[in-house]
Amino acid sequence: MPQPHRFDDRLIVALDLPTAQEALEMADRLAPAVGFFKVGLQLFLDAGFSVCDALAKRGFKVMLDLKFHDIPQTVAMATRQLAGHDIALTTVHGYPQVVAAAAKTKGATKVLAVTVLTSLGVDELQQTGYAGSLVDLARLRAEASLAAGADGVVCSPLEAGALRRHLGSLPVIATPGIRSLDSAPDDQTRTATPAAAIAAGATHIIVGRPITKAPDPLAAARDILREIG
pLDDT at residue 66, rounded to an integer: 97
pLDDT digits (tens, 9 = 90+) for 113-136: 999 877 776 777 667 777 678 888
Tens-place pLDDT, residues 151-194: 999 999 999 999 999 999 999 999 998 987 666 555 556 678 99
Question: What is d(CA 176, CA 192) in angstroms, rounded to the nearest whole number?
Answer: 9
Contacts of 98 (CB under 8 A, 6+ apart): 68, 69, 70, 72, 75, 92
Give the pLDDT band of residue 1 (cuts 50, 70, 90).
very low
Tell me the pLDDT tens digit for each residue of 80-115: 999 999 999 999 998 999 999 999 999 999 999 999
pTM: 0.91
Active site residues: 67
- CB-count exposure of residue 170 (10 Å: 0-12, 13-18, 19+): exposed
Pair 67, 39: CB distance under 8 Å: no
73-79: which pairs have CB atoms within 8 A and are 24 or more residues apart? 73/101, 75/101, 75/102, 76/101, 76/102, 76/104, 76/105, 77/105, 78/102, 79/105, 79/106, 79/109, 79/111
